[in-house]
Chain A
Amino acid sequence: MTNPIIVRFRLDYGAFQLAVDLSLPGSGITVLFGHSGSGKTTLLRCIAGLQRAQQGFLEINGNVWQDSERGVFLPTHKRPLGYVFQEANLFPHLTVAGNLQFGLKRIAKQSNTADLQHIVELLGIAHLLKRLPDCLSGGERQRVAIARALALNPQILLMDEPLASLDAKRKHEILPFLSRLHSELAIPVLYVTHSQQEVAQLADTLVIMEDGRVQASGPLAEMQSRLDVPLAQDRDAATVWQATVSEHETDYYLTRVVFADGALSLPLVDAAVGTPLRVQIYARDVSIALEAPTATSILNVLPATVTGLADDHGGRTVVRLQVGNQALLAHITRKSALLLGLHADMAVYVQIKGTSILN
């Protein structure tokens, strides 16, 4: 299947150059990740048409929004997109309801108010409708901004660091709403951030940007565990697995979750059987054994295959493993790696000491 979002941009500002050639999936959240100045926001603005790349080709679901060779450039207001800015950027002269209606008044009357009502409920802003933006907290403003963008029933949702201007408490107030969008939205979301936490929590696809270029892009777990991008070397390196709750062992305060190629025991999760979960496994919580440990306190022991090793020149070795189809990272000491004689394609057992649930 070919990806329905095709993005090719070249832009030269002298000191900064953007050169991007990407094709992205038509559903789920794609996170554009990178340091400030890596070009991720510029890329998003080019997709929105807020900035115009001198050379560019942009196609969304078969519709060409820009093709510099044929002189096609759809102005922003003609692109069926939703955009959430870093600052909520609400209109201060309109109430929350007025802000939500602003775009709706300008599109054909096909959209129905039931949609808007659903969005208002999804983001928990029903009690704010009559207020002016000045009377809202930062987190509330951002939720209204997200609802305002979604109200138009866009073909793609673009979000530019929507949490960056909020303090930690507000972030935690909004993240659950974003996770909910994740399961409820059928449209693709492009999400710009420099926060690893947001990547782990939201991304399905990850695009890593550096100096105006795409360093790597692909499914989240694959990107997280690639040894040639800096994520895997990070102290907080982790991989995220998609799993489903399969049973609760209430006697032990444990929950069993299954993923494509096995099962894990987690501390009791307050979620019904069948609920999808994102389970984050930190590389530092994964240890490696050559034989199946028979007597160990660790519950989660899984057979795995070593697929790569990287030395950080600081006494630590990053091991990339494959558990069935799932990639996994382990941070172990260089000494252990040498003593175990680890090498690619070697069959081993991984012991997972701790996990965290992201939603």
Chain B
Amino acid sequence: MLTSADFDTLLLTFKVASISTALMMVLGTPLAWWLARTSSAWKGIINAVVALPLVLPPTVLGFYLLVMMGPAGVIGEFTNWLGIGTLPFTFAGLVVASVLYSIPFVVQPLQAAFATIGELPLEAAATLRASPLDTFFSVVMPLAKPGFLTAIILGFTHTVGEFGVVLMVGGNIPDKTRVVSVQIYNHVEAMDYSDAHWLAGVLLVFSFTVLLTLYTVLKTQPTAHQLK
């Protein structure tokens, strides 16, 4: 059965994933919009940087973040200057790392959805007196709804599943940085396979259910392809 410590890690994981996903949507939406529409020379570089966490081993990303957020790192000096101390092995540090680690899963579906919409609906909205911001909320968001759903769910589930970055940046501190994946590792290390089974099973069922729901919903969503 799940122990109370297991429940604590589940709760913490949910908290990290929720806050990270919210931050990723706020940061990722304008970034994806810009990437989908710009012809700037920076596009290639920014695209590559955003996609980097997809291919880098999480430990590499975690290592650099640990160094940069440490007292001698750029980010560390900045956060010290702000008077909030350094981020490694804190909840905030975990959120920052999660955002950087999972943001391609938010930006890429959004960017693809925005690109699919194309110019035409935006032009139609402009000729119907809608300002660009108005158009974004009244036309782009409804048409890109499948993209937003995909982004939220992939961003969230990917954050739930992270391990390498957490271990490097957050460590293994109960109630602060000990998330489900780390707890499973702890159980296995302690040869406690039965507890590991329970927790792993919860994650498996959760992830499958969420993805199944996503793809079922997506199937019934109208897409911009149908724009006539």
Number of A-B contacts (CB under 8 A): 78
Known: A102-B130, A133-B228. A89 touches B222 (CB 8 A): no
Cβ of B85 under 8 Å from chain A: no
Besides the contacts A83-B123, A91-B124, A93-B222, what 4 more A-B pairs have beta carbons closer than 8 Å? Answer: A77-B127, A91-B139, A91-B143, A107-B129
Q: How far is the CB of B27 from chain A (nearest CB, A)?
A: 26
8 Å CB contact of B129 from A106, A134, A141: A106
Known: A89-B121, A93-B142, A93-B222. A48 touches B127 (CB 8 A): yes
The complex places the Cα of A152 from the Cα of B125 at a distance, in Å, of 13
CB pair B228 A85 closer than 8 Å: no
CB pair B224 A92 closer than 8 Å: yes
Cβ of B39 under 8 Å from chain A: no
Cβ of A50 under 8 Å from chain B: yes
Name B residues whose Cβ lies closer than 8 Å to a Cβ of A. 120-121, 123-132, 134, 138-139, 142-143, 222, 224, 226-228
- Residues of B contacting A91 in the complex (Cβ-Cβ under 8 angstroms): 121, 124-125, 139, 143, 227
Known: A92-B228, A93-B143, A133-B228. A106 touches B128 (CB 8 A): yes
**Total chain A interface residues with beta-carbon distance under 8 A:** 29
Cβ of A163 under 8 Å from chain B: no
8 Å CB contact of B123 from A89, A90, A106: A89
CB pair B120 A87 closer than 8 Å: yes
Q: How far is the CB of A150 from chain B (nearest CB, A)?
A: 12
The complex places the Cα of A273 from the Cα of B169 at a distance, in Å, of 89
CB pair A77 B228 closer than 8 Å: no
CB pair A89 B129 closer than 8 Å: no
The complex places the Cα of A262 from the Cα of B135 at a distance, in Å, of 55
Chain A residue with the shortest CB-CB distance to B126: A76
- Residues of A contacting B226 in the complex (Cβ-Cβ under 8 angstroms): 92, 134
8 Å CB contact of A75 from B126, B138, B139: B126
- Residues of A contacting B123 in the complex (Cβ-Cβ under 8 angstroms): 50, 76, 83, 85, 89
Chain B residue with the shortest CB-CB distance to A82: B127
Cβ of A176 under 8 Å from chain B: no
Chain B residue with the shortest CB-CB distance to A154: B127
The 6 closest A-B pairs by CB, nearest first: A103-B128, A83-B127, A76-B126, A106-B129, A93-B142, A89-B124
CB pair B127 A76 closer than 8 Å: yes
Binary contact track A53-77/B, C-beta < 8 Å → 1, others 0: 0000000000000000000000111
The complex places the Cα of A148 from the Cα of B128 at a distance, in Å, of 8
Chain A residue with the shortest CB-CB distance to B131: A77
- Residues of A contacting B130 in the complex (Cβ-Cβ under 8 angstroms): 77, 102-103, 106
8 Å CB contact of B222 from A87, A106, A134: A134
Known: A76-B123, A81-B127. A88 touches B228 (CB 8 A): yes
Q: How far is the CB of A189 from chain B (nearest CB, A)?
A: 15
The complex places the Cα of A48 from the Cα of B119 at a distance, in Å, of 15
The complex places the Cα of A83 from the Cα of B129 at a distance, in Å, of 11
Cβ of A238 under 8 Å from chain B: no
Chain B residue with the shortest CB-CB distance to A76: B126
Q: How far is the CB of A106 from chain B (nearest CB, A)?
A: 4
A34-53 interface (Cβ within 8 A of B) = 48-50
CB pair A89 B128 closer than 8 Å: no
A143-170 interface (Cβ within 8 A of B) = 148-149, 152
